[in-house]
Amino acid sequence: MSADYNPLELLVCVASRIIEDNSTAFVGTGVPMAATMLAQKLHCPNVTAIFEAGGVAPILPGLPISVGDSRTSHKGFMASTMNDIMETAQRGMVDYGFLGGAQIDMYGNLNSTMIGDDYRKPKVRFPGSGGANDIGSLCWRTVVITPMDTRRFVEKVDFVTTPGYLTGKGAREKAGLPLGSGPYKVITNLAILGYDEETCRMRIESVNPGVTIEDVHKNCGFELLEAPQIEKTHEPTEEELRILREEVDPDGYIIRR
């Protein structure tokens, strides 16, 4: 049994476990940075982390506060440019891309642009894509990290900022995106979600400690499928929490928000 932990610590630990050693991960600000740093210290010493502003494969000395932080190039292979990083993804050399968004639908399409039905006069305007469209279009496996509620998990996103499986199986390929690429996991405060291979629809794969399958369905704005066998998400271990709290984020930039 692990020590007490908060929901953000659980998100970071779960996200870190997805990363494989010798893989390449396109890392964004916040939880993905903490998760990548934790993975690098625990089980992925050879992960190649790349950052939008140009850092490639750093040995992170501390938690960066943005993708342009100088720490994203510390002892790295290269301090490059955004163009080089996006080209690397376009050439099919990035295994994992981490994303978030204001809305997500059953096919993993993401909206980080606007809420409303009029682009010129939205109810809410968000920052937009940044590199999110490139990451979701070109990385082989896209991992979304987001809180789960019916406002975020919607039947249809108000704007497709980042393509998931678009309208279902085969739609990405018809749109010209790489065969075999696309959404992989959605890590939330309630459950870990994946995608059904036949329909490309989102499904429940694991529920977090203290959460029921009914809780997950209740907090989703569309019908979720269920994996043949739904697991229980493993709690953070004492070692994961120790490294996260003492070495990755001792100042609590992420885990104490």
Active site members: 52
- Upper half-sphere CA count for residue 76 (Cβ side, 13 Å): 21
Between helix 7-18 and helix 31-42 the angle, nearest 10°, is 60
Residue 90 Ramachandran class (φ > 0 left, ψ -120 to 50 alpha, else beta) = alpha
The answer for residues whose C-beta is within 8 angstroms of residue 69's C-beta and 6 or more apart is: none
Structure tokens at 128: 């937009």
Which residues have CB under 8 Å from 77's CB, separation 6+? 48, 56, 57
